Amino acid sequence: METVEMNSVSLKHPRSEDDVANADEIKRQKILEKSKTGNDSGQSIETVTEPPEDMKNEIIPNEESEEQEEEELEDSDEDGDPESFADMMKHGLTESDVGITKFVSSHKGFSGILKERYSDFVVHEIGKDGRVSHLDDFSVPVDDEVNFEDPSEETFTVLSDEDKQRLEELQLFKNKETSVAIEVIEDTKEKRTVIHQAVKSLFPGLETKTEDRDGKKYIIAYHAAGKKALAKVRTATDPRKHSWPKSRGSYCHFVLYKENKDTMDAINVLSKFLRVKPNIFSYMGTKDKRAITVQEIAVLRITAQRLAHLNKCLMNFKLGNFSYKNHPLKLGELQGNHFTVVLRNITGTDDQIEQAMHSLREIGFINYYGMQRFGTTAVPTYQIGRAILQNNWNEVMDLILKPRPGAEKGYLVKCREEWAKTKDPAAALKKLPVKRCVEGQLLRGLLKYGMKNIISAFGIIPRNNRLMYIHSYQSYVWNNMVSKRIEEYGLRAVPGDLILKGATAVHIEEGDVDNYTIHDVVMPLPGFDVIYPKHKIGEAYKEMLVADNLDINNMRHKIRDYSLSGAYRKIIIRPQNVSWEVVAYDDPKIPLFTTDLDKLEGKPLPVLPTDGKFRALKMEFSLPPSTYATMAIREVLKMDTSIKNQTQLNTTWLR
């Protein structure tokens, strides 16, 4: 086995995005082809199956905690033209900037387009029991007990078609009405109860109350969120008395199938329509936005019937495979993810493809932290993390708020300019229409605590956002050290390397080296509770941290949140369940495989030509938690995944 260093790349023009892609997706998520020279470039959104090692509370790609509800990260998207984004990316990062420089395979790279359509990237979660999550059943489990939450059959017939139309328009804010009045023709308590049930079950998000008007009874439906004073809004944590059967588990588990939405976006929409807080939902891992993903979700005391009704009124995701259990889900409990990926318009020969995929299956790929971990702007997240660890709070403030080169959101540019000119938090804050971005949060903190208490001001930013910065620095160090390790010693275990025995790291001794392979070797993320290799790379860690004015022997911070315990991470990952197929096609917009939803709806797979204009590589593989799928794909194509590399070499397309 040999290692291959990545050289410079050139690119060809890619195809257009899926028709449904928004401007923000076009900016960040378009994947470009590699040139015919053999070294490729493409960009993707990494899927991280759980927080890495000691980073269980960290924000990782597409992950948010409950305290981050509706928060915007520093590098969040906005509408804008691709040319502006290209200008911004001229000042962004390349893979070599964050230590990603090596390949383990010897095959010649070839060109392909990743995520030309979001449906070309499908993720199925693998639970802790090894079961792969699939959406294949819309049925609702039947209880022995009947309660208020479970509507009777009459619920579905008591409302007229006209009532349903008006209620749907009210629910979806399609008209200017603030309420809908339904006259109770046969005025009995039982009849009113059925109408109340019908509205709330069929139109989640609406609340009801009874009113007398001119001697007649009416059920008034309205949006609970906007009418809190009119009625008590019941939630899953404040249920109606005796509404939940004792024999039923408190948590409804279900499979969430979503398209082009990240996990927290989906949960926020569900919570809005169900009139509950997002923190009653639990999950094992977060998934990509620009993909089709299937994962298990649990929610406290919401019936399967209510959840199933959401399928009728919500776009881009479906709920199914309902069951009741007595426990929620915990972040990180999953075994990993199974990926189905299509690389379109490939240029590799059959031999190249076979070599690449055999290498992925037999050797694997370097377990780098992907580009998304380091941000997309001219100020990488690891630089802010380094300043935090250095206890250099003026630098932290400056890196977050100072003007930065390249195109950026217009209001952020004005905010930064105002800050540079006046150093006045109030004046800079006035330039921000969105106060929940990281810049806005820091400015609010400075306004509250003053310029002499930056630590407290920075503390206003949600904890997970703050930890993201220092974990980004750890990842930056790890990537660089792994590249040095592979350059120095290749793909074999050597004396002084680290392996795990249980949860404990030990050094490989000279006499034991033949008992281990490169797949056993781990390397540490720097911290106070790890040991380092006993060869040149151990010294390289120290040298790198010394150059950053940090002491590797003192990784405790005076603020406990920023003390790094460290962790261990395998340097080579060998995917499981690897399979692949090359298919021909003519139309770049047709799907090349069927999804769970396609199968449920009985949609056949399009008939593909045997000799089409284009060729695509369909590949499947399973990855363990804390690994980036695009690093595996990078190894196959030999591509640089940095946005900067793509945009600089594809400015004609971006115009």
Task: Transcribe 198-224 into DSSP letters.
Answer: HHHHHSTTEEEEEEEETTEEEEEEEEG
Element (H, E) at 543: helix 536-547
Strands 121-126 and 292-300, sheet pairing? parallel
- Are the beta carbons of 121 and 290 closer than 8 angstroms? yes
Among the listed residues 120, 288, 497, 596, the single catalytic one is 288
Question: For the stretch 63-91, what's the b/e string if a residue is b when 16 or more beta carbons lie within 10 angstroms of its beta carbon?
Answer: bbbeebbebbbbbebeebebebbbbbbee
- Are the beta carbons of 498 and 568 closer than 8 angstroms? yes
- Are the beta carbons of 125 and 133 closer than 8 angstroms? yes
Element (H, E) at 620: strand 614-623
Q: Residue 456 CB: number of other CB atoms within 10 A?
A: 13
Active-site residue, 288 included: yes
Q: Measuring CA to CA, which residue among 408, 355, 375, 372 is closest to residue 641?
A: 372
Give the CB-side neighbour count of residue 100, counting CA atoms within 13 A.
27
E strands of 170-271, at which residues?
179-183, 206-213, 216-223, 251-259
Q: Give Cα 265 to chain centroid, integer Å.
A: 10
Q: What are phi and psi of 320, to 5 degrees?
A: -165, -170
CA pair distance 200, 221, nearest whole angstrom? 9
Q: Provide the annotated active-site residues.
A: 288
